[in-house]
Amino acid sequence: MHPSRRDDFTEFVAGRSDSLIRLAYLLTGDQHAAEDLLQTALTKTAGRWRKIRDNPEAYVRRVMYHEQVDRWRSPRWGRERATDVLPELPIGDHSGDIDTRVTLARAMRALPPRKRAVLVLRYYEDLPESEVAKIMGCSVGTVRSQAHQAIVRLRGLVGAPVTQES
């Protein structure tokens, strides 16, 4: 990579890493997997930096989404791993906010990967439906229906009442 392009790429990574790692965490549900996902996406982005410099964040988001879908489809995804040392049990905050967060995180993990990705991109990342459709390679109507179905499913999983407007 040319030194000026390397500087541009380094500046992009430094400026957007916090946002991108949050997205990766929401897609994976695990900090270590999120770091791996972001690293993979940034490696692929660096290789194409010359062609995507105009909108690199959209490219990174798209790569992360597709990489995560590939991981979900992998036969090794979700398998338990044996260890010789048990992890320490965390001492958590027992406030209602933490309980709500945990309940919502479990419900999000119970959603199918595509519906989960729609919710993360649409509502957490606050992307317009058209951008979500581009990232996921589908129509805006599909994004809308997937979001609607995911919200209805989430409400059912967390015990919230499902209204007629849902």
d(CA 40, CA 36) in angstroms, rounded, equals 6
What's the pLDDT tens digit per position in 52-68? 877 888 899 999 998 88
What's the pLDDT tens digit per position in 68-111? 888 777 666 555 566 677 667 666 555 667 778 888 888 998 99
Within a 10 A sphere around the Cβ of 61, how many other Cβ atoms? 24
155 and 166 Cβ atoms separated by less than 8 Å: yes
CATH number of 95-166: 1.10.10.10
Give the pLDDT band (50/70/90) at residue 166: very low
What's the pLDDT tens digit per position in 125-165? 889 999 999 999 999 999 999 999 999 999 998 887 656 55
Residues carrying CATH 1.10.1740, the chain: 1-74
Annotation: CATH topology of 1-74: Rna Polymerase Sigma Factor; Chain: A (1.10.1740)
Residues carrying CATH 1.10.10.10, the chain: 95-166
Per-residue pLDDT at 78: 54
Q: DSSP readout, 118-152?
A: HHIIIIIS---HHHHHHHHTS-HHHHHHHHHHHHH
